[in-house]
Structure 1
Amino acid sequence: MSDLQLEREFQVSPERLFHWVTTPEKLLKWWGPEGMHVPEHDLDLSRTGPWYSIMQNDEGQQFKVSGQVTHVDAPKSVGFTWGWHDDEDLRGGESHVTFTVVSNNDGARLLIDHRDLDDSEQSARHEAGWTSSLRKLLAHID
């Protein structure tokens, strides 16, 4: 198993950052790597329960991921499971993601902790995806 941790600074209040990383209308602006959009979803990380999203690239390829929101502690943290679906819509192995928002002198810091990834190769792919998504979040939130 492999784990991944990323953090980014934002010049907004912790409450505003938490809103951007949990509510559907804000999530859809940055969810998924650059070049992807989300044509179909039940993406609401502001409440516990199931979620899913289908990301689509410019060539029309679709990638489905789903899970369960396991905890919401606004405006501090949200946790959820994560599992990719294959071409037959069968869900693969499950990993766990936690977004933690902490206050700092200039605003807020977002920590992404993605645990229980299969291996370092999968961790590297997720790091690239989260890094790209965080660039989108930074462009929209500031």
Structure 2
Amino acid sequence: MADLKIVREYPVAPKVLFAWISEGARLLRWWGPEGVHVPEHNLDFSRIGPWYSVMENKDGQQFMVSGHVTHVRPDVSVGFTWAWHDENGTRGAESHVTLAVEATETGARLVLDHRDLADDDVSANHEAGWTSSFNKLATVLT
């Protein structure tokens, strides 16, 4: 198993950043790597329960990921499970994600902790995807 940690800082109040990582309408503005949009979803990390999203790239390929929101600590953190679906819709190996928000002198820090990834290659792929997604988040926040 492999784990991934990414830390990014944004020039917004922690409460604002938490809204962007938990509320469905805001999530949609940055969810998924650059060049991807989300035509179908039930993204809402402000409550416990199931979630899913279908990401579509510029070539029309679709990729479904789903999970369950396991905890919500308002303005502090949200946790959820994560599993990609194969082309037949079968859910693959499950991993666990926590997005935590911390105050900084200049705004807020976002800490992603993605655990229980299958191996280092899977971790590297997720690192690229999350990094690209967080680039999109930076764009909508500035």
| Correspondence 1:104 to 2:123 | no
- What residue number does 2:116 align with? 116
The whole-number CA distance in structure 1 between the counterparts of 2:26 and 2:128 is 21
| Correspondence 1:128 to 2:114 | no
- What residue number does 2:77 align with? 77
What SS does structure 2 have at the residue aligned with 1:9? strand
The whole-number CA distance in structure 1 between the counterparts of 2:44 and 2:7 is 22
State the shift of 1:126 in Å: 0.1
> What pairs up with 1:1-80 in 2 under 5 angstroms?
1-80=1-80
State the shift of 1:83 in Å: 0.3
The whole-number CA distance in structure 1 between the counterparts of 2:96 and 2:79 is 7
- Structure 2 counterpart of 1:31, which letter? W
Deviations 1:90-125 (A, max 9, x none): 000000000000001001000000000000000000
The whole-number CA distance in structure 2 between the counterparts of 1:9 and 1:77 is 15
State the TM-score, normalized to the length of structure 2.
0.99
Structure 1: 5+ residue stretches without partners: none
Q: Which runs of 4+ in 1 moved over 4 A?
A: none
State the TM-score, normalized to the length of structure 1.
0.99
Percent sequence identity over aligned pairs? 59
What SS does structure 2 have at the residue aligned with 1:102? strand
Q: How many residues align?
A: 142
- Structure 1 counterpart of 2:98, which letter? T
